[in-house]
């Protein structure tokens, strides 16, 4: 009896203690913010950014009382419409939406002077509880980036839910238009864009790493860096080159060939294809798929003259020809000519990018200053205050060597 009574008492106590999830929220009650876009303030032109567009009708509604006197930014958040999202709805199917189908996301744009005040204002426009723990991407307009990322990054660094691994992208013109994309496969444009950057290990013309933590570390250290540039149409997003930053401010654009060269020089190259001219002075193209690339940078100090020697060693597989057919056994001489042609293509391309970064943007995206600080610390202490003046005229010697693996007719 005593045992039964004790069991009954324990059951009653457990019922009193375990009262259930009295404050739980269903998934449909949360607003999971997947992407954030930051643009200059529309100043009464609405989310569309131009008078007469659909967004203009919402402009008056989107304005808020501003303590600073005038708006500073437009912030757009993307949240999934759970009931419309095939991957999240309990009864959903698969695949992306076709043209004209209902959107699976809700983009909410708010104009304001601080990000926290805009976040609170957005919360007054939706019945959902916003949650930033699943934030995938932060897209920033080039107009905002040219004014300086240090002016707007503090909110995202201090936010209790935003993770420092969030990827940052720069859009030419409107950043919001990237979130407005209705992708064919993924449910949400933020996830689509996030997956594109994951291809940097396989695509040689994508910026290797561009998350919030890495970017802010560069800004704090006063380093120059590159962030990926994104473009979009209604259904597709493309990472197309990068945005060049000198310290915290954007100073210009790098094309896709520049990004490839930067990855070569900084030893970040993961794989890609090189195309050269047929080496026997006849029409045609030859191609090589790179399987390995190793770069090494050495600073040299002679008297008061500083220079850098860059060695890039590439291994690859001969992938074939265009406009002609190798129907005979290729000899060693032909292979060596191909190797020299591929080396010339890489060398010319890298030299072009070096000149562009030194003379046009004066941005040390190759991290020469970091190499000096590590390998020549005493010298770096002497010249670090004048580095911005020294860097554009530093001589760079580039050596590229290519070794082909023989395939097909090449045995």
pLDDT band at 42 (very low <50, low <70, confident <90, very high): confident
Considering the domain architecture, whether residues 235 and 271 belong to the same structural domain is answered as no
Per-residue pLDDT reduced to its tens digit, 348-401:
999 999 999 999 999 999 999 999 999 999 999 999 999 999 999 999 999 999
Closest CA to 223 of 48, 395, 26, 391: 391
Position 87 scores a pLDDT of: 52
More confident residue, 175 or 4: 175
Could you give the 3-state DSSP secondary structure of residue 390? helix
* Dihedral pair phi/psi, residue 163, rounded to 5°: -85, 145
Q: Report if residue 346 sits inside a domain.
A: yes
Could you give the 3-state DSSP secondary structure of residue 236? coil
Give the total number of structural domains in the chain: 2
Q: Report if residue 1 sits inside a domain.
A: no
- What is the spatial distance between Cα 108 and Cα 59, in angstroms, rounded to a whole number? 12
Per-residue pLDDT reduced to its tens digit, 252-277:
999 999 999 999 999 988 778 899 99
Per-residue pLDDT reduced to its tens digit, 297-328:
999 999 889 999 999 999 998 876 655 555 55
Q: Report if residue 32 sits inside a domain.
A: yes
- Tally DSSP H helices, then E strands, for the chain: 13, 14
Q: Report if residue 14 sits inside a domain.
A: no
Considering the domain architecture, whether residues 117 and 236 belong to the same structural domain is answered as yes
Kindly list the distances between the CA atom of residue 35 and the CA atoms of 56, 98, 212, in Å, as whole numbers in the listed order.
22, 22, 13
Position 335 scores a pLDDT of: 85
Per-residue pLDDT reduced to its tens digit, 334-348:
889 999 999 999 999
Considering the domain architecture, whether residues 184 and 324 belong to the same structural domain is answered as no
Considering the domain architecture, whether residues 181 and 325 belong to the same structural domain is answered as no
Q: Report if residue 411 sits inside a domain.
A: no
Q: Report if residue 16 sits inside a domain.
A: no
Which residue range is the domain that position 287 belongs to?
259-405
**R_g over Cα of the chain:** 27
Closest CA to 167 of 195, 187, 148: 195
Q: Report if residue 368 sits inside a domain.
A: yes
Mean pLDDT rounded to a whole number for the chain: 83
Considering the domain architecture, whether residues 201 and 285 belong to the same structural domain is answered as no
pTM over 0.85: no
Lowest-pLDDT range of 79-88, 137-146, 189-198, 268-277:
79-88
Per-residue pLDDT reduced to its tens digit, 60-71:
455 556 655 678
Position 99 scores a pLDDT of: 46
Per-residue pLDDT reduced to its tens digit, 188-217:
899 999 888 776 666 678 887 789 999 999
Give the whole-number percent of the chain exceeding pLDDT 70.
Answer: 78
Residue 37 has pLDDT above 60, yes or no: yes
Closest CA to 239 of 139, 163, 357, 147: 139
Considering the domain architecture, whether residues 145 and 236 belong to the same structural domain is answered as yes
The domain boundary, picked from 189, 222, 254, lies at 254
Considering the domain architecture, whether residues 67 and 153 belong to the same structural domain is answered as yes
């Amino acid at each position: 009896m005593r045992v039964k009574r004790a069991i009954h008492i324990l059951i009653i106590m457990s019922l009193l203690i375990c009262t259930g999830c009295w404050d739980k929220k269903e998934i449909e009650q949360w607003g999971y913010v997947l992407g954030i876009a930051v643009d200059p303030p529309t100043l009464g032109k609405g989310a569309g950014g131009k008078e007469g567009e659909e967004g203009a009708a919402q402009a008056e509604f989107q304005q808020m009382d501003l303590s600073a006197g005038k708006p500073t930014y437009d912030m757009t958040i993307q949240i999934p419409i759970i009931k419309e999202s095939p991957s999240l709805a309990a009864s959903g199917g698969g695949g992306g939406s076709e043209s004209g189908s209902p959107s699976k996301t809700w983009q909410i744009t708010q104009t304001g002077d601080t990000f926290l005040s805009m976040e609170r204002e957005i919360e007054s426009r939706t019945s959902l509880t916003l949650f930033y723990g699943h934030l995938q991407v932060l897209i920033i307009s080039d107009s905002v980036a040219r004014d300086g990322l240090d002016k707007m990054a503090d909110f995202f660094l201090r936010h209790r839910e935003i993770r420092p691994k969030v990827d940052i992208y720069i859009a030419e013109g409107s950043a919001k238009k990237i979130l407005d994309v209705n992708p064919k496969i993924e449910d949400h444009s933020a996830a689509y864009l996030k997956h594109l950057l994951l291809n940097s290990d396989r695509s040689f013309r994508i910026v290797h790493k561009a998350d919030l933590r890495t970017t802010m570390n560069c800004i704090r250290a006063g380093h120059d860096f590159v962030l990926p540039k994104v473009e979009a149409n209604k259904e597709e997003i493309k990472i197309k080159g990068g945005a060049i930053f000198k310290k915290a401010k954007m100073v210009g654009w790098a094309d896709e060939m520049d990004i490839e060269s930067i990855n070569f020089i900084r030893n970040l190259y993961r794989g890609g294809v090189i195309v050269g001219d047929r080496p026997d002075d006849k029409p045609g193209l030859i191609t090589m798929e790179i399987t390995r690339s190793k770069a090494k940078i050495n600073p040299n100090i002679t008297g008061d003259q500083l220079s850098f020697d860059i060695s890039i060693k590439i291994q690859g597989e001969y992938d074939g020809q265009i406009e002609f057919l190798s129907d005979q056994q290729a000899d060693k001489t032909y292979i060596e000519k191909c190797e020299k042609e591929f080396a010339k293509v890489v060398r010319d391309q890298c030299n072009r990018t070096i000149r562009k970064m030194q003379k046009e943007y004066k941005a040390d995206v190759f991290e020469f200053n970091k190499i000096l600080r590590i390998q020549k610390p005493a010298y770096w202490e002497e010249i670090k205050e004048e580095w911005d003046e020294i860097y554009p005229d530093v001589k760079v010697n580039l050596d590229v060597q290519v070794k082909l693996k023989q395939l097909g007719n090449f045995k």
